[in-house]
Chains A and B, each alone.
Chain A
Amino acid sequence: MSERIVTLSVNGEPRSVIMPDNATLLEILRDHLELTGTKHGCDLGECGACAVLVDGVPVLSCLVLARDTEDHQITTIEGLGNGAAPDPLQVAFAEFGAAQCGYCTPAMVITARALLDGHGSPSEEDIRAAIAGNLCRCTGYIKIIEAIESVASMGPT
Chain B
Amino acid sequence: MTTHLPTFDYRRPTSLGEAVRLISSGGSSTVVMAGGTDLVPKMKRRQLTPSTVISLSRVTEMQGIRYQDGATTIGSGTLLREVVASRLVPEPLRLAAATVASPHVRNTATIGGNLCLDTRCNYIDMPEGWRIANGHCLKDGGDTCWVAPRQERCWAVHASDVSPIAIAMHTNVRLVSETGERIIPLEDLYANDGINNLTKRRDELLVELKIPSIEMRASYYKLRRRGAIDFALVGAAASFALEEAGSAEDVRIVLTGIASAPVRVFEAEQFLVAEGLSPGSIVEAAGIAGSCVRTQDNTDLGSRYRKWMIPVAVQRVLEGLAMNTNERSADRGTD
**Which residues of A are interface residues toward B (Cβ below 8 A)?**
1-2, 20-24, 26-27, 30-31, 40, 43-46, 48, 51, 57-60, 62-65, 67-68, 111, 129-130, 132-134
Given that A27-B2, A132-B229 are known contacts, is A22 also in contact with B7, CB under 8 Å in the complex? yes
User: Provided the pairs A24-B40, A27-B4, A40-B2 are in contact, do residues A48 and B104 lie with their beta carbons within 8 angstroms?
Assistant: yes
- Given A22-B8, A48-B104, A132-B103; A65-B229 close (CB under 8 Å): no
Is B107 in contact with chain A by the CB < 8 A criterion? yes
Expressed in whole angstroms, the minimum distance between the Cβ of B317 and any Cβ of chain A is 22
- Neighbouring A residues of B247 by C-beta, 8 Å: none
Interface residues of B (CB under 8 A from A): 2-10, 12, 33, 36-37, 40-41, 44, 53, 55, 57, 81, 101-105, 107-108, 227-229
Docked-complex contact A21 and B10, CB < 8 angstroms? yes
Pick the contact of B103: A2, A20, A63, A130 (CB < 8 A). Answer: A130
A sample of 19 inter-chain contacts (CB < 8 A) reads A1-B8, A20-B7, A21-B9, A22-B4, A22-B7, A23-B5, A43-B41, A44-B41, A44-B44, A57-B107, A59-B108, A60-B37, A60-B108, A65-B33, A65-B36, A67-B55, A68-B12, A132-B103, A132-B229
- Whether the Cβ atoms of B229 and A46 lie closer than 8 Å is yes
* Chain B residue, CB-CB nearest to A71: B58
Q: How far is the CB of A1 from chain B (nearest CB, A)?
A: 4
Nearest-neighbour CB distance to chain B for A131, whole angstroms, equals 8
Find out whether the CB atom of A63 lies under 8 angstroms from the CB atom of B9: no
Q: A129 to B81: give the CA distance in the assembly, Å.
A: 13
Q: Is the CB of A63 within 8 A of B108?
A: yes
Flag if A58 contacts B107 (CB, 8 Å).
Answer: yes
A133, B8: Cβ atoms closer than 8 Å: no
B104 close to A51 (CB less than 8 A): yes
Once A45-B40, A57-B107, A133-B229 are accepted as A-B contacts, the answer to whether A26 and B2 lie under 8 Å apart by CB is: yes
Complex A-B, nearest 9 residue pairs according to Cβ-Cβ distance, in ascending order: A133-B102, A21-B10, A132-B228, A133-B104, A22-B5, A1-B7, A44-B41, A68-B57, A63-B40
Q: Which residue of A21, A60, A68 is within 8 Å of B104 (Cβ)?
A: A60
By the criterion CB–CB under 8 Å, are B40 and A59 in contact?
no
What is the bound-complex CA distance between A51 and B102, given in angstroms?
A: 12
Q: How far is the CA of A39 from the CA of B169 in the complex (A)?
A: 41
